[in-house]
Amino acid sequence: MSFTGLRSIVLCLGLLAVPALAADMSTAPYLAAAPEKPTLLQMLASALKPKSAHPAVPEYRPRLRQAAAKRRPKASAPIVTEEPVASPTTVGAAVAAPAQLSEVELAAKGLELFNDASLSGGGKASCATCHFSTGHTNNKTYVGLDVVADGDPNGRNTPTLWGVGERAVFGWAGQAPTLEDSIRGIIVNRMKGPEPSPETLAALVAYVRTLNYPANWQVKEDGTPREDASAAVRRGYELYIGDGGCGTCHQLPSFDKKSKDDIGTGGKFKVPTLHAAASTAPYFHDGRTASLRDAVKLMWEFYAKKMETRLPTEAELDDLTAYVGAL
C-alpha cells in the first residue's frame, strides 16, 4: 500500500472518532473516573462490538446470592427441597371417617336404606317390602320372605314399626334386646342379606325411631279417654283396666310389656303393643284372628279361664273393642 493510501485511512478513522470523543466529554461530569483512559482504537472496538442479547447482571444480584449462600447448610449436609404433600387418594373406602351426620341427615339416609333391596340376599326385598316406606305393616304373614296363609303355625305376622322406639324388647320371640339387634337379625336371618355395617344399622335405627303413632282424638297420650270421647270408648277403658284384665299384660302407656307370655297360641311370645291395633289385622304372632273384635274376645276368654272370672257380654265386647280400636 502506498503512503498516500495509508494517510487517507488514518484521516477517515480520525473523522469517525470525533463524535465519540465529543460524547465522552459531554458525559464526563456524570461518570466515575476510570482508572485508565481507553485508547482511540479501544473506543472504536467497543462501539463496533455487537450488543449481547442478555442484559448485564445487576450489581445487587451477587449480594442476594451471597446472602442465600450464608443461609445454606454446610456442604456436608445435602440440600433437600421439600415438595408439597399431595392429598390422599380414596380408593374403595374413605381415608378418614365421614363427618358426623345430624339426626335428620342420618334418618334421611335410613329411609333410603329402608327401601334398598340390596340389603337382602339376591336383592329380593327391602324393609319396605313388609312395612311400606311409612314403617307400618302390610298386614301379611310370612315364613322368611314367602307370604303364607294367616294362621300358619310357622308364620309370623308383620307388626307395625310405629312407636318402635318406645318398646322394651323386639321380635315376636322377644329375642332382640335392642332395636339394632332386631334390625340386624331381620336383615341377616329373614332377608338372607350380608352383615350390615354399623353405619347402616345406625341410619336404619335413626329412621324407624322417627315413626310415631298417629294421634286419636278420643284418647290421651297416657292411654286414658279424653273428656269428649264416646261413651263406648269410656266404658271400654273401664273394662280394659278392670274385668277384662287387658292392662295386666298390655300395660299403659306403652300397651305392651317386656316379658313373653303363653296365651295358648303355640308357645311364649312377646306381648305386642295395642297402639294402632285397629289397622294391624290380622292378629297374634301367626295372624290367626282376622278381626279386632275376635282378638279381644279370645284374650278375654283366656284371661277369664286363667283367673277363673266371668266371660264378657256381647255389649262389653263391643265397648272394649271400641276402646282398643281408639288407641
63/50 Cα distance (integer angstroms)? 29
pLDDT of residue 26: 36
User: Is the overall model pTM greater than 0.75, yes or no?
Assistant: no
Interior/surface letters 167-179, b for 16+ CB within 10 angstroms, e for the rest: bebbbbebebeeb
pLDDT of residue 2: 47
Q: Are 252 and 222 in contact (CB under 8 A)?
A: yes
Percent of the chain with pLDDT over 90: 64
pLDDT grade for 312, boundaries at 50, 70 and 90: very high
324/237 Cα distance (integer angstroms)? 8
Q: Is the pLDDT of residue 309 over 90?
A: yes
Task: Kindly report, residue by residue over 54-70, the tens digit of the pLDDT.
Answer: 444 334 333 333 333 33
pLDDT of residue 215: 87
Set out the domains of the chain in order of their start, with CATH numbers: 103-208 (1.10.760.10), 231-325 (1.10.760.10)
158: left (phi over 0), alpha (psi -120 to 50) or beta: beta
Task: Kindly report, residue by residue over 217-264, the tens digit of the pLDDT.
Answer: 999 999 999 999 999 999 999 999 999 999 999 999 989 888 889 999
Q: Are 137 and 213 in contact (CB under 8 A)?
A: no
